[in-house]
Chains A and B, each alone.
Chain A
Amino acid sequence: MADRKLILPDPRRRRLITGLGAIGATAALTGCDSLSRNEQVQGFLDNTQWLTRYAQRLVASREALAREFDESMIADTFRANGTTNPENDDYQQMAANNFADYRLKVNGLVDRPAEFSLEQLKAMPSRTQITRHDCVEGWSCIGQWTGAVLGPVLDQVRPKDKARFVVFHCADNTYGGPVKYYESIDMVTAHHPQTLLAYGLNGSDLPVANGAPIRLRAERQLGYKMAKYVVGLELVEDFADIQGGMGGYWEDRGYEWWAGI
């Protein structure tokens, strides 16, 4: 009987609880929009990606491969998005000459900076893989990629011990805007056996729409990591001084650096 007072019907209390519920729900809905614009909230939400990276690195070994598919699974047309034809003159001239003048510059924290022509890259240890490309938007597309395995390319330039990231500099001004696309991956991703500097798609040279002459394949990451029109690799200790400082074109615009999910 100690709880007797609780069972007395009290319309005011009922109205209070119902009212509070309604106010709470409305506040939550409108509040989340203003929370989304609060920089501290943004920073906190963005930082949970490092927990995700830590957890995923814990369960995925360095060597664990992305699934590879049968030839019959290859899409008729590999969907291209982002920039599909860089409009700047430098790129157009290079493309007009079938990329004979293309040079991949590799520099930064390395003992032996180097430049590689397309022919030199094609002569390096290569890999062909039929993999699924997952766009951050949610769609997937399967294609067959051929390219130089990134690990051996890096071995040639001898990264210094303090090099922690590979930054990919690109030839395209994204969506015709003022800045060039760029991306970055860490050394674990860089040395993954399926991480390629891809020059071939479905048995042909990589088309312009898909990033000719070289695009990155990092099969355990989302599509925006896999920079197209790559013209330079820079090894760095951190990427705070590059463009927006977040390690990539989309990262500078609020997307996570860790694109494993």
Chain B
Amino acid sequence: MNNSTPDSSQAAGEREDAVVKRHGWATRAWHWLNAICLLVLLMSGLQIFNAHPALYWGDTSHFDSPLLAMGAFRGPDGEPQGAVRVLGHQFTTTGVFGLSDLDGEPTQRGFPSWATLPSSQWLGMGRNWHFTTAWIFAPSLLAYLLYTLISRRRRRMIFPTGTQLKTLPATIWHHMRFRFDHERDYNGLQKLTYILVLFGILPLVILTGLTMSPTMNAAWPWLLDLFGGRQSARTIHFLCAFALLAFFVVHILLVLVSGVFNNLRSMITGGYRIKQTPTHTEHRTRG
């Protein structure tokens, strides 16, 4: 197909490229539905959190010893300050946590208005957004997980091969130096991350959410035993939300540095440009 030596020019590289179909319609549809759901769930969740911006461990709220609390108080100069107390350590966070502007007025609230849905304090509406969205998010996650387990193609896509597990340290090293292979398959690190999110954090966030429901506590009391009580479940729910936020940040970062156009296209039309297999090893070692 070409007679120039590999790596000699960009043009040569392009001739070795091919566009493959990376993501099927179900993955693409679920991805964007999920993106919207998680954004609404996060922001409405922060609205709900703001109604009582403190976290505890166990069955009940030990009001004197929260794991985390946000609030406002008067500083030494008499001006109000925002603060976060985490495990006994206090940090001044004026403008972001504890005290932030709402319609130009400094207001005592946990998370700032730009992070909550609705932006002003409105617990009832936050709950309605949260639970309605959860009704879309949870069934679609369940369907997607079942599909992933049933479909051979999906299993191959998500579960790492023995070779991928063995070369995992090398893959991590490549990522740390921002070197990315463009292959049809996910690499071992990607696969493990998606397994952790799909089968770990996402189910966990749903189960801890259900554990906060008093009717579900009566229906499935084992939920309380599993998470060590309602307030523990609330704390885990909160941590899961921020683990998902961290996943989102790293996900966006990697999408940006590993070819934003190619990545976006693979999640919209499905088409993904890869280096073809015969010259694959040469490209892997190329700087």
Give A residues with C-beta under 8 Å from B. Answer: 3-4, 6-7, 9, 13-14, 17-18, 28-29, 32-33, 36, 42, 44-46, 48-49, 51-52, 56, 59-61, 64-67, 69, 73, 75, 79, 132, 134-142, 219-222, 250, 253-256, 260-261
Partner of B59, one of A28, A49, A73, A260: A73
Contact B271 A73 (CB under 8 A): no
Contact flag A17-B39 (CB < 8 Å), given A3-B19, A48-B131, A56-B219: no
Contact B124 A255 (CB under 8 A): yes
Contact flag A33-B19 (CB < 8 Å), given A45-B132, A66-B218, A254-B125: no
Q: Which of B131, B224, B230 has the most CB of A within 10 A?
A: B131
Contact B61 A140 (CB under 8 A): yes
Contact B216 A56 (CB under 8 A): yes
Question: Is B119 an interface residue when CB atoms closer than 8 A count as contact?
Answer: yes
Name which residue of chain A comes closest to B43, CB basis: A32
Q: Which of A13, A66, A138 has the most CB of B within 10 A?
A: A138
Q: How far is the CB of A62 from chain B (nearest CB, A)?
A: 10
Contact flag A140-B123 (CB < 8 Å), given A45-B128, A64-B218: no
- Give bound CA distance, A71 to B3, whole Å: 84
Name which residue of chain B comes closest to A48, CB basis: B132
Q: Which of A73, A75, A139, A253 has the most CB of B within 10 A?
A: A139
Question: Is B49 an interface residue when CB atoms closer than 8 A count as contact?
Answer: yes
Question: Is B180 an interface residue when CB atoms closer than 8 A count as contact?
Answer: no
- Give bound CA distance, A51 to B138, whole Å: 14
Q: How far is the CB of A63 from chain B (nearest CB, A)?
A: 9
Q: How far is the CB of A101 from chain B (nearest CB, A)?
A: 34
Point out the residues of chain A lying under 8 angstroms from B19, CB to CB. Answer: 3-4, 6-7
Question: Is B100 an interface residue when CB atoms closer than 8 A count as contact?
Answer: no
Partner of A260, one of B128, B215, B268: B215
Contact A136 B123 (CB under 8 A): yes
